[in-house]
Amino acid sequence: MPSIKVLILRAPGANCDVETQFAFERAGAIAERLHINQLRESPALLQRYQVLVIPGGFTYGDDVAAGKILAVQLAHFLGDALRKFRDREKLILGICNGFQALLKAGLILSPDEEGPIATLTHNSNGRFIDRWVHLQTFGDRCPFLQGVERMFLPIAHGEGRLVCRADWQLQGLLQAGQAVLRYTSSLNSPTNASGNPNGSQGDIAGLCDLTGRVLGLMPHPERHILPTQHPHWTRNSTLGEGDGMAIFRNAVRFFH
C-alpha cells in the first residue's frame, strides 16, 4: 500500500515537531517538517499530504496569547487552503500549542456573529502545569480516537483551560459530541478536582470539529510513544506501547 504522507508545520518556537515526526514514522507514515513561511509561499504544497499536524511548543513566544500569532497566520494566509484540505476528507491534528492555534483560527469551532465560541486561556491556578493526566474518550466521531477508551499522557501548558462564551454553547459542544477527550480520575470515576488539572470547562482536554477530522488536544501523545516514557516504567515490566501511539496509528489507518 502507498505510504501516507504527513506534513508537520513548524513555526518559530515550536519544539515538539521532531517527536511528532518520530511518532508518525513509527506508525508507518512518511512525515516531513515544513516551516510555515514555505507553506505561505506555496499553499499548494498541502496537496501532497493526507495529514497536517501543528505540533506543540511556544510559537512566537506565545506573545499576545498562546498560539494567537500562529492562529492569525493560519486564518488570514492559509484559511482557504486549510478548509479545502479538510473538505477533501483529510486529517488535521493540533497538539497543545497546535490546539490553541487551530481553535483561535476558527478551524475547529467556527465563530458566530458575536465572535469566537470558545478559547483556551490561563490555567485556573495561574501557573504552568507539567504532569501526567488520565483521559477518557467520548463518542466515535473522531478518526484519531477510534478504538481508544482511556489514555495516560503528559501535559505541559500554561494556557490550557477551555472556556466557552456562554454555558449553552458548552452544552452544545457536549451534546454534539465534539468534546471527544476529557480529563478524568485514575479510577474511572466521575471527574473531580484532581482529574482536571487546569479548570477546563466540562473537563475538556480535546475538541474535534463537526466532521471529526480536525482534532485539537492539550495533552502530548507524542511524548508517550515508547513504554520507557511512562513515569512508572521501571516498576512495571508489563507496559506495552505508549498510549499516545494509538492516535498516530489511527491517523495512518484512516487512509487504508
Distance of CA 2 to the CA centre of its chain: 26
Q: Are 138 and 181 in contact (CB under 8 A)?
A: yes
Residue 67 phi, psi (nearest 5): 75, 0
What pLDDT shows up at residue 194? 61
Range of weakest confidence among 105-114, 148-157, 179-188: 179-188
pLDDT tops 60 at residue 193: no
pLDDT tops 70 at residue 189: no
Q: Are 6 and 51 in contact (CB under 8 A)?
A: yes
What pLDDT shows up at residue 138? 96
Domain 5-253: CATH superfamily, name plus number: Class I glutamine amidotransferase (GATase) domain (3.40.50.880)
Q: Answer whether 0.85 is exceeded by the pTM.
A: yes
What pLDDT shows up at residue 239? 76
Give the pLDDT band of residue 135 (cuts 50, 70, 90). very high
- The distance between the two most distant Cα atoms of the chain, rounded to a whole number of Å, is 54
Mean pLDDT over each residue of the chain, to the nearest integer: 94
Give the pLDDT band of residue 235 (cuts 50, 70, 90). confident
Average pLDDT over residues 208-231: 96
What pLDDT shows up at residue 54? 98
Average pLDDT over residues 208-227: 97
Query: pLDDT tens digit string along 61-83?
Result: 999 999 999 999 999 999 999 99
Active site residues: 96, 220, 222
Query: pLDDT tens digit string along 116-134?
Result: 999 999 999 999 999 999 9
Q: Looking at per-residue confidence, does 218 or 186 come out higher?
A: 218
pLDDT tops 70 at residue 192: no
Quick one: three-class SS letters along the chain? CCCCEEEEEECCCECCHHHHHHHHHHCCCEEEEEEHHHHHHCHHHHHHCCEEEECCECHHHHCCCCCHHHHHHHHHHCHHHHHHHHHCCCEEEEECHHHHHHHHCCCCCCCECCECCEEEECCCCCCCEEEEEEEEECCCCCHHHCCCCEEEEEEEECCCEEEECCHHHHHHHHHCCCCCEEEECCCCCCCCCCCCCCCCHHHEEEEECCCCCEEEECCCHHHCCCHHHCCCHHHCCCCCCCCCHHHHHHHHHCCC
What pLDDT shows up at residue 191? 47
- Cα distance between the two ends of the chain: 8
CB-facing half-sphere around the CA of 166: CA atoms within 13 A: 7
Give the pLDDT band of residue 1 (cuts 50, 70, 90). low
Give the pLDDT band of residue 15 (cuts 50, 70, 90). very high
Q: Are 89 and 51 in contact (CB under 8 A)?
A: no
In whole angstroms, what is the distance from residue 33 CA to residue 9 CA?
6
Give the pLDDT band of residue 240 (cuts 50, 70, 90). confident
**Where along the chain do its domains lie?**
5-253
